[in-house]
Amino acid sequence: MKAVIWSLPRLILISINLFSFYPVIRSQSSGLFPSYDSLHIGMCNSSLPELEDKMNQNQPVLYIVTPTFARREQFPELTRLSQTLFHVPHMIWLLIEDTSECSPILSSLLERCQIPYVHMVAPMPAQFLVTAKKPRGVSQRNAALQWILTHPELPEGVLYFADDDNTFDLRLFKDIRKTQKVSMFPIGLMGETGINSPVVRNGQVVGFISDWFGKRKFPVDMGEFAVNIRYLTYNPAKVAMPFMVGYEEDGFLRGIVKKWSDIEPLAEGCTKVWVWHTTAEESLLPVINSRGGDSNLRDLLSELESTGVVGTTVTGPGIPVCPMDSDCI
């Protein structure tokens, strides 16, 4: 499936000043940021027109942004996330792929999930494909931000970055709908300590706990905060995420958060964990003999291949099979 490609306008990019409390605008010539002329966004499909009448305009809409890239675990993880989001009312799922062409299997998944969605592609700029540490998800999140900022007719709502490999308690989505500016909350399974969280005193965020601070002003994970989309429009020129591994969240938040009192602690005063950083470890793609004879194996392997879980071949050994009433080891 081909994507309809349109160029993302040039934005003012926010960089990280590691030695100052306030962010600075860093020149494009520093090499830390790409030229936005080379970043392209493709629109695949959207279910919004036919589902618009199902949206409740009396409460904030959740704009759930999920960047994704092709790998063996992609389809199972997106299946899990889609079935979580099925139970979240009044939301729009922005699923953006790190590729230049829309994936038919993901389009099929979105059509089945029966929730409002926008499906786009936004490939990583070519200069980052050869780097050891790749800033995954940045192009896709910037595409979502640009989509929101260029649709002023969107209903009031809250933006949340939900990675496809994380795990979510439904209470989180109910809670973040209350976000007026920027809300923050704990996230579990982070680093050796197992937790990232704001520190809250008297209802105010006064610091953070994290395994790694890295001189960041906001040492938080992508799944640890939500933003009211109207808050983004106060200074849209600064609404961008830097292509700087480890500093994506910090760069984004530095561009929009004006003062500490703008941060709203959620999850019962940051005492509950309703999101977990359950990152799956990528594994090599097994290649399996697709000859299934008169059994179900041929069709089963074809299904697994279509979702990227296995590869198939007509040569080499097949899957070991143990017949009934046999002592197989």
d(CA 115, CA 159) in angstroms, rounded, equals 16
Give the tens place of pLDDT for each residue, 83-117.
999 999 999 999 999 999 999 999 999 999 889 99
Total residues belonging to the chain: 329
Residue 51: the pLDDT is 57
Percent of the chain with pLDDT over 90: 52
CB atoms within 10 A of CB 188: 18
User: Which of 13-17, 216-220, 298-302 has the largest mean confidence?
Assistant: 216-220
Radius of gyration of the chain (CA): 22
- Comparing 76-80, 194-198, 252-256, the range with the smallest average pLDDT is 194-198
Give the tens place of pLDDT for each residue, 27-72.
333 344 444 445 689 999 998 766 555 555 678 999 999 999 999 8
- Which of 135, 163, 110 lies closest to 34 in space, CA to CA? 135
More confident position, 319 or 149: 149
d(CA 279, CA 174) in angstroms, rounded, equals 23
d(CA 43, CA 106) in angstroms, rounded, equals 13
d(CA 228, CA 148) in angstroms, rounded, equals 11
Q: Among residues 153, 249, 268, 303, which one is catalytic? A: 249
Residue 317: the pLDDT is 67
98 is in an annotated binding site: no
**Would residue 111 show up in a list of annotated catalytic residues for this protein?**
no
Residue 319: the pLDDT is 67
Q: Which amino acid is at 226?
A: A
* Mean pLDDT within 12-29: 28
Q: At CA 141, angle to CA 132 and CA 119, rounded to 5?
A: 115
Give the tens place of pLDDT for each residue, 235-294.
887 888 999 999 999 999 999 998 999 999 999 999 999 999 987 777 777 787 776 667
* Mean pLDDT within 171-178: 97
The pair of three-digit structure tokens given for residue 69, joined into one six-digit string: 């890239």
Element (H, E) at 304: helix 297-306
Residue 21: the pLDDT is 26
What's the whole-number average pLDDT of the chain?
Answer: 82
Residue 161: the pLDDT is 98
The answer for residues whose C-beta is within 8 angstroms of residue 256's C-beta and 6 or more apart is 182, 227, 231, 232, 234, 235, 238, 239
* Contact of 291 with 185, CB cutoff 8 Å: no
The DSSP secondary-structure symbol of 212 reads -
Q: Which domains does the chain have, with CATH numbers?
A: 42-276 (3.90.550.10), 284-319 (no CATH)
* Angle, helices 74-85/104-113, rounded to nearest 10 degrees: 20
